[in-house]
Structure 1
Amino acid sequence: MQKSTSNQAEAKQMGWLQRFNPIGLALGASLLLAALLWPAAGWSQATGGGAETMQLQLGFSALQAHQWLLGMLLVLSITAEIIARLYPRESQVSCLGSMMLAGVAYQVLRFATSAPALWLQAVILLMLALVVMFGMHYLSRQLDKPLPRLEQALWWQVFVAPACVLVAGFFSDFALARIWHALLTLELLALLAWYLRQRWQALLTHPPVPAKARTNLLKLSALITLCCLAMLADQALPLLPQPLLPAWTVWLVLAQPVLMITLGLQFVASFARARRDSDLQQVQAEQGMAERMAEMEHSFAGTVEQKLEQVTERERKRIAADLHDDLGAKLLTIVHTSESDRISTLAREALEEMRLSVRGLTGKPVQLLDALGDWRAEVVSRLGQANILAEWKAPAEDVVHTLPARAYVQTTRIFREAVSNIIKHSGGTHCTISCNVQDGDFLVVIQDNGQGIPAELDGRLDRGHGMASMKSRAKQMHGQCLVESGPGWGTVIRLTIPL
């Protein structure tokens, strides 16, 4: 148990070490420096008169505005870091936040006078090198063109630049700091120019160019150009004699943080638009996937149903073939060889029923007019043999409906059951059969003038005379069979079958 706990602790420690990386270290260091030197810089500016390091004096109003702008930039950088934590897949936004954070520290340290000049110059160069490195990380990943070798070189530059300044300072050589400062500024300008060039190439190589995309890129180009000019002015102003500069030039120092804030907002807004478009594409992809899945399920269900119908049809044909070849042959033999007329008649009836069943299993749909002709011939013939006058009323000759084979068989058996009841139980002498097609239904009314169903069976019609069988067959065809009867006024059977 102790060994397991120890292994878990080691695994947890290794997981922390794996998450530890140089970029995280640089980010934490820049955040710590900004937090520690912010109040010191403000106090030293207020008491010491401002930028002795950069040889540029700021008035109190300009100093307050500069601090407020840096505070806004700090909030924006923290916002970018929060966005990066909320969306781990968008790791480049963390580089944007780190770049702005290092930029805040750089601006704060430039106007600090409380630290020794040598160490202050080294830390200023460290912050500027971090701005270049994080900017390269962010812009290259936004273009989806990472440059690992260049990024590694910029990472080494973060340590080399301040180290060179410290070493040169021990030999009283302060010119190297200005050289490094100019070199890092040129690197930042080159980085922004490379980014703009790549954006324009990507836009122009895929015509037609959308007007909105061109407008957005023009705005971004103008903003980056102003940032470059502000950086050049920021480097040039401290080198000029201050007595010769107009009073308003002091406010040019504020241009760089203002443009940095605007550029940061532009990048965050572009990320928000990209995220919105990505979410919209994901929703559309999920909807498309759901639609395709529904289509596949529907297609699969249709295929399964079709296969089931095919299997059922094959089984029906097999049963029909067995009935026809085996039972049908035996019944036909009885019909032709039996010496008893009664047995021969029963065998013939059984043979007809079997043929009807086989037709229901394997037959094709039947034209309604043909079916009416078959039913009329059989019904009139059977009733005539029983000395019952049959009156047949059929629909017009223009009926074009068809009946499935199964419906034809079931309706035939309902007719036979109804005729059998009239012959055996009604005692009537007249029967009217009315057939009609109305509102997509096939309607049949069979009415006799017999004695009706006895009173003792009132309320229990389904228990005798095959009524339950007739209603069951009608229900199988999604229809209904109603029976109306009473002593002394005959029986009416109403059959409704949907076509």
Structure 2
Amino acid sequence: MTPPTAPQAAMARRLPLVLLISAALLWPAAAHAQTLAGPDWAAVLRGWVAAMLALMATIVGLVAGLHHREKPANFLLGMMLSWVVLRAAGASGATGLRPLLMTLLVLCGVQYLLRQMNWKRSWIDHALLIQCLVVPASLLLTGGQVSILATLWQVVLSLELVAAMGWALWLRRLRLEAAADEVQAREFRLMAVLLLPTMLALLAEMALAALNEPLWLSVSPWLSLALPVLMLALGLQLVNGVAHARLDAEKRIAAIEHRMSERIAEVERSHAQLAEQKLEQVTERERKRIAADLHDDLGAKLLTIVHTSESDRISTLAREALEEMRLSVRGLTGKPVHLIDALGDWRAEVVSRLGQANILAEWKSPAEDIEHTFQARSYVQTTRILRESVSNIIKHSGATHATISSAVQEGDFILTIQDNGQGIPTELDGRLDRGHGMASMKSRAKQMHGQCLVESGPGWGTVIRLTIPL
């Protein structure tokens, strides 16, 4: 909620004091009217209505002063004060002031009713201002004989006010037909309930005054309450509208703040994604640079050793180092590898190495077609685990037969290497990860979020089961 400004806070602090002063000033007037009229309940009610109208005028004035968009409410304020002064003038017997005050009341009432509908015409403004000059001037020219002319002016002014109410109601009907919704319909029904009885009361009062004076004298005090009650209702409508506008503004502010927080979070996520993409791009470029350097410099030198060395051992070691270097380069480039291509590479290498060691190799590929891919790092780590397993079979198992099978189950790639060798010696006290590179193989599998299980026993060989999520 927006904190009030200094002028708003000052006006809010003065409001209780203004209301108390207004009530204190108007209470004697209401009590005096009751004393003069005796049991005249219409006079008592008019006194209380005048007091409430003065309080409402104070509230309307504060609303108009604090809210720039409610400037037309100043006309409602003038309308209310005109009626209060008009009643006081009537109670004191100053009947000559009634047309003057009625002129001011009509000016403010017509302007408020039309401005409330955003309907403004300059000729109406000029006519109302000219009327404010013509009425007192015509009364002064009569030389004090104002009864007939004052009555005539009062009828004309009452008809103007009735016409303004009818036109305002018609404008609301046109607005309802142009944009029919529940809010417009509710406002139209409310204004119809407020304006139609007031119009009928004003017309009935004028008709009775012309046709039946005794009946007019008895009914007029009650009919004259319709206009102040209308002004009280318009004031309440104004205050209610301002309160609802404040609630709507708070809801819109809350919605805007929510959207802003979502936008900020979205911008932060986008920024984080861009930063991550930038880091990945930089890392990728650096990987490719290192891979190119390894391939062009170290690879060329190892290839030269392979082809020029006279020592078979040195040539073999250089060839193995060249293969490891090429595998590392493939992992650095970051290009995914089709699983079916990887299986072909692994099969050719494993069968060749085991065959050179006089070990029968049996390779079992998956029965179904494989369309999965391996990340470059996963391909490199799996290749090294497979090479370490084959090296263990060749160097330590004493096996004559090895079976390598692969399968894809529930999103996992499963590679199983089994031999018929002598198994892992019992000297390791059951700790299968102590020797033959087992710890390194399990660590590599963990880096791929997989696992490497080893089962072995003296006399029945070794089984290594590698499970990797695709």
TM normalised by structure 1 equals 0.71
Contact 2:432 2:438 in 1 (8 A): yes
1:317 aligns with 2:297: no
1:109 correspondence with 2:97: no
1:137-173 Cα offsets, whole Å, 9 max, x none, are 7974x5578999x99x999x99x99xx89xx8xx979
Correspondence for 1:45? 33
The structural deviation recorded for 1:375 is: 1.1
Pairing partner for 2:388 from 408, 417, 437:
417
Change (3 A) 1:138 1:254: closer
Q: Paired residue for 1:452?
A: 423
Whole-angstrom CA distance in 2 between matches of 1:28 and 1:100: 22
**1:8: which partner in 2?**
none
**2:231 aligned residue:** 260
Amino acid at match of 1:60: D
Q: Which amino acid aligns with 1:407?
A: S
Secondary structure in 2 aligned to 1:339? coil
Give the corresponding residue for 1:10: none
Q: CA deviation at 1:126?
A: 7.5
Aligned to 2:3: none
Letter matched to residue 424 of structure 1: K
AA of the residue aligned to 1:109: A
What is the CA deviation profile of residues 401-439 of structure 1, one whole-angstrom value per residue up to 9, with x for unaligned ones?
221222212211110111122222333333222211111
Q: Distance in 1 between matches of 2:68 and 2:453?
A: 71
Q: Is contact 1:137-1:146 (8 Å) kept?
A: no
**How far, CA to CA, are the matches of 1:219 and 1:298 in structure 2?**
50
| Counterpart position of 1:35 | 23
1:464 and 1:154 mapped to 2: Cα distance?
Answer: 109
Question: Which deviates more from structure 2 when the two are superposed, residues 270-279 or residues 315-324?
Answer: 270-279
Distance 1:133 1:244 in 2: 30
Bigger shift: residues 191-200 or 32-41: 191-200
Aligned partner (choices 369, 373, 383) of residue 402 of structure 1: 373
Of 63, 70, 73 in structure 1, the residue corresponding to residue 43 of structure 2 is 63
1:456 CA drift (Å): 4.4
SS of the residue 1:245 aligns to: helix
- The alpha-carbon distance between structure 1 residues 135 and 313, as it changes in their structure 2 partners (threshold 3 A), is farther
Return the alpha-carbon distance in structure 1 between the equivalents of residues 153 and 21 of structure 2. Answer: 21
Alignment pair present for 1:220 and 2:220: no
Distance 1:320 1:195, change over 3 A: farther
Q: Unpaired runs of 5+ in structure 1?
A: 1-14, 51-58
> Residue 345 of structure 2 corresponds to which residue in structure 1?
374
- Note closer, same or farther for the CA distance 1:286–1:137 as it changes in structure 2 (3 Å cut): farther
Mapped pair 1:478 → 2:449: yes
Equivalent in 216, 225, 232 of residue 245 of structure 1: 216
Gaps of 5+ in 2: 1-5
Q: Distance in 2 between matches of 1:450 and 1:470?
A: 19
User: Quick check: 1:350 aligned with 2:330?
Assistant: no
Aligned with 2:437 (options 458, 466, 483): 466
For residues 94 and 277 of structure 1, the distance between their equivalents in structure 2, rounded to whole angstroms, comes to: 20
- 385, 398, 413: which one aligns with 1:442: 413
Could you tell me whether the CA contact under 8 Å between 1:471 and 1:481 is conserved in 2? yes
State the secondary structure of the residue aligned to 1:436: strand
Identity, % of aligned positions: 55
Contact 2:303-2:318 within 8 A present in 1 as well? yes
Q: Structure 1's 449 and 223: CA in aligned 2 closer, same or farther, altered over 3 A?
A: same
Give a deviation string over 1:3-30, Cα, whole Å, max 9, x none: xxxxxxxxxxxx87xx89xxx99x9999
What is the total number of aligned residue pairs between the two structures?
Answer: 458
Residues in 2 aligned to 1:488 and 1:135: alpha-carbon distance in whole angstroms: 112
State the Cα distance separating 1:443 from its structure 2 match: 0.9
Residue of structure 2 aligned with 1:494, choices 458, 465, 469: 465
Residue type matched to 1:250 in 2?
Answer: P
Matches of 1:76 and 1:463 in 2, distance apart? 93
Letter in 2 for 1:491: T
Distance 1:128 1:479, change over 3 A: farther
Aligned-partner Cα distance in 1 for 2:83–2:306: 111
CA contact (8 A) 1:78 1:97 kept: no
AA aligned to 1:47 is: T
TM-score by length of 2: 0.75
Distance 2:112 2:179 in 1: 30
* Residue pairs, 1:127-276, within 5 angstroms: 129=104, 136=111, 140=115, 199=172, 207=178, 209-210=180-181, 213-214=184-185, 216-217=187-188, 219-221=190-192, 223-231=194-202, 242-243=213-214, 245=216, 247-271=218-242, 274-275=245-246
The answer to whether the Cα contact below 8 Å between 1:369 and 1:397 also exists between their aligned partners in 2 is no
Q: Which moved more, 1:33-42 or 1:406-415?
A: 33-42
